[in-house]
Amino acid sequence: MTSLPSRPQAQAAAAPTSEPAVFARFDFNWQALFAERISWLTQPNVVADLRSDHAGETGAVYIYLGAAWAMALSPQRYTPGAHSFVTEHCATEEGHLALFDRLLPREHHSKLLLAWKAAGFALGALPTLVGEAALFCTVESVETFVEEHYNEHIVPMEREGAYPELVRLLRHCRDDEVHHKNDAAARWGAPAATASGSGESGDGGDSGGSGGGGGSARPWYGRAWAAVVGRGSKAAVAVCRRV
C-alpha cells in the first residue's frame, strides 16, 4: 500500500524557555501558555477540546497534501491560483499544527491520528481530481464547520475569563480558518458570509464568529456536499474527544 506523504516535522519545545524558528511569526506568550496549561490539564473538557483541535489541524494539513498530490498528476488542469491556494493554505495549517504539537502533551493526542491523516488526504485528493471548483467547495464546507467548532470552546472560555492566552491562540487559528473559508467561497463562486465576533486576524484579516459560508446561497450540490462534510466532521470530533 502506498504510504501517505509526510508533512515537514513540526518542532515541539519541552520547556517554554526555547523558541524554535517555526514559531518566529507568532507572538504568543509561551510562558503564559505553559502556566495556563498546568491548570487546564486538570480539566478533561478542555483537554478533549484541544485533542480535537490538534486532530483537526492534522487532518487539515493532509487535506492540502492530498490536493497537492492530485494536482501533481496533471498540473496543467489547474490554474496558478489553485496551486497557490493549496501551497499557501497548507503552510498556514502546518503552522497551526506546530502550535498544537507544542501546546498539547503527546499523551493527550488522538490515538487515531493515522486515520485522520488518511481521511484528510482523501478529502483533499478526491474533490481535486474532480476539479478545482470541487476542492474550493470542499474547503469552504470544512472551514464552515471548523469555525463553528472553534467557537464552541472559545466563547465559553471568553465568557468565564478563563485561559486568556490560550483563547488568543484559538482565536488566531479560528480567524485563519475564516479567511480560508471566505477565500475558497470566493474562488468557486459561493457568496462568503463575513462572520462577526473576532478580535484578531490571522493570515487574511477576516473576522471570526459563526457563519454559514454562503448558506442557502450555495447551489444545491454545494449544500448537499456541505451537509455531508459537516456531519462527517462532527462525528470525527466526537470520536477525537474520547480517543
Tell me, what's the pLDDT at 17? Answer: 42
Q: State how far the Cα of 123 lies from the Cα of 75, in Å rounded to an integer.
A: 19
Q: State how far the Cα of 184 lies from the Cα of 190, in Å rounded to an integer.
A: 8
Tell me, what's the pLDDT at 7? Answer: 46
Tell me, what's the pLDDT at 230? Answer: 87
Tell me, what's the pLDDT at 22? Answer: 59
- Whole-model pTM: value is 0.81
Angle at 117 between CA 114 and CA 121, to 5 degrees: 145
Domains and CATH numbers, the chain: 42-240 (1.20.1260)
State which residues of the chain have pLDDT below 70: 1-24, 190-217
CA–CA distances in Å: residue 6 to residues 59, 103, 124, 168, 230: 12, 21, 15, 29, 26
Tell me, what's the pLDDT at 213? Answer: 43
Tell me, what's the pLDDT at 189? Answer: 74
Tell me, what's the pLDDT at 20? Answer: 56
The 3-class SS string of the chain reads CCCCCCCCCCCCCCCCCCCCHHHCCCCCCHHHHHHHHHHHCCCHHHHHHHHHHHHHHHHHHHHHHHHHHHHHHCHHHCCHHHHHHHHHHHHHHHHHHHHHHHHCCHHHCCCCHHHHHHHHHHHHHHHHHHCHHHHHHHHHHHHHHHHHHHHHHHHHHHHHCCCHHHHHHHHHHHHHHHHHHHHHHHHHCCCCCCCCCCCCCCCCCCCCCCCCCCHHHCCHHHHHHHHHHHHHHHHHHHHHCCC
Q: What is the dihedral of CA 158, 156, 160, 198, to 10 degrees?
A: 10
Angle at 152 between CA 189 and CA 227, to 5 degrees: 40
Tell me, what's the pLDDT at 232? Answer: 92
